[in-house]
Amino acid sequence: MVDAESMGIDDFPKEIVKNMYALVEYKGTEKEHFVYAYPTEIEAFKTYKKIHHTDKAIFKANIVYANLFGTKVMCGYEEI
């Protein structure tokens, strides 16, 4: 059995959810922070307006989730 310390995020099963709207802060920098993925652009924009700085982006993407012991954790995205 593999102990938990040697396991990485890539060792867990993946699920790809297509055509979501990703909300990301500081996109393309080392401070990049994924906020959330929404099924509609309107839902993403509601959260977008609550972020007070200007370095934020909404874009359509396929979101890659890892299933960590029953919890979906976003581990990447592919911009469409």
Any idea where the domains of the chain sit in the sequence? Answer: 10-79
CA distance 18 to 63: 6
For the entire predicted model, the pTM comes to: 0.78
- pLDDT tens-digit readout, 13-39: 788 999 999 999 999 899 999 999 999
Q: Is the pLDDT of residue 43 over 60?
A: yes
3-class secondary-structure state, position 69: coil
Q: What pLDDT is recorded for position 2? A: 57
The C-alpha atoms of residue 35 and residue 53 are separated, in whole angstroms, by: 14
Q: Which amino acid is at 43?
A: E
Q: Categorize the per-residue pLDDT at 46 as very low, low, confident or very high, splitting at 50, 70 and 90.
A: very high
DSSP 8-53: -GGGS-EEEEEEEEEEEESTTSTT-EEEEEESSHHHHHHHHHH--S
Query: What pLDDT does residue 45 have?
Result: 96
